[in-house]
Amino acid sequence: MRESMPHAEAQGQRRQTKIPVWRQTAARLGKLCVEVLYPRRCPACDAPLAIGQELCEDCSGKLVIVTPPFCFGCGKHLEDATQEFCHDCLAKIHFFDAGRGLYDYRSVAESMYRFKYHRRSEYAEFYGRKIAAHLGEVIRGWDAQALIPVPVHKERLKKRGYNQAQCLAEVIGRELSIPVESGLLVRAKKTVPMKLLDREQRIKNLKSAFITRDNSVKLKSIIVVDDIYTTGSTIDACAAVLKAAGVEKVFFITLAIGRG
């Protein structure tokens, strides 16, 4: 009888029995950034890594860390050491108090694209650790009670499977022992991808995009975590609602930052 089993049926049976339990469980836990614990690829070029390697040999030195002097507002590198603020921060009053981004955006742009859109949530382990190592002192100095990842809209989260900002915040929080409060800030509106918009459009796009779950937030000082800082519109929109809900100080940390 076995030999006479129709081909399609045999294949179907094989499919049913061959999906291992661990795989089904891993898929279910995708949202919990389970992959974060097992980095397997070079975050800079995506080549497979040897055990214990954090970047492949070709990529050491490829990721450029932003150097001083820093803008007192957004932490961008300043060309002129006599300046205190970058062009952007001079032109605009921010809702956040200060912040820092670790890498020059151009050096991590491709990696960030994979991190965000190509299911490379595992990069968060490398990047989160680097942020903690290089910016840990600055972060501790802010004396914040919580890290708040910039939320994504629930439909987008479903499609993408994870929020890269949350994956980053989880690793930074673990490394520096700061709690991550991811349910506090909610993305109420689906927004157009920011990279397609100019500054004015970005601000309009983000109007009422975020809300806090409670009207009153009992945290004095928090750090908003995101992947990228460009003009600051996203961080400002988050900071505005958090301050309206009673938070006194809002700082930010991003993996990458653009030039001033």
- Residue ranges that bind Zn ion, judged by CB under 5 A: 42, 44-45, 47, 56, 59, 71, 73-74, 76, 86, 89
- Cα separation, 145 vs 238, in Å, equals 16
254 and 194 in contact (C-beta within 8 Å)?
Answer: no
CA distance 221 to 140: 12
220-246 burial string, b = 16+ CB within 10 Å, else e?
A: eebbbbbbbbbbbbbbbbbbbbbbebe
The CB-of-141 to Zn ion minimum distance in angstroms stands at 18
Q: How far is the CB of 123 from Zn ion (least distance, A)?
A: 11
- 74 vs 235 by CB, closer to Zn ion: 74
- Phi, psi of 104, deg, nearest 5: -65, 125
The least CB distance from residue 131 to Zn ion, in Å, is 19
Considering the complex, state which of residue 45 and residue 197 has its C-beta at the smaller distance from Zn ion. 45
Q: Which residue lies nearer to Zn ion by CB, 56 or 165?
A: 56
- 3-state SS assignment for residue 117: helix
Closer Cβ to Zn ion, 44 or 237, answer by number:
44
CA distance 180 to 41: 26
Q: What is the DSSP string of 57-91?
A: GGGTTTSPBP-SSBPTTT-PBPS-TT-SS-HHHHH
Q: Which residues, 6+ apart, have CB-to-CB distance to 114 below 8 Å?
A: 46, 120, 123
Least separation in angstroms between CB 63 and Zn ion: 10
- Write down the residue that tokens 């700061």 correspond to: 178
Q: How far is the CB of 104 from Zn ion (least distance, A)?
A: 14
Taking the least distance from each CB to Zn ion, the nearer of 86 and 139 is: 86
Q: Which is nearer to Zn ion, 86 or 180 (CB)?
A: 86
| Least distance CB 59 / Zn ion (angstroms) | 3
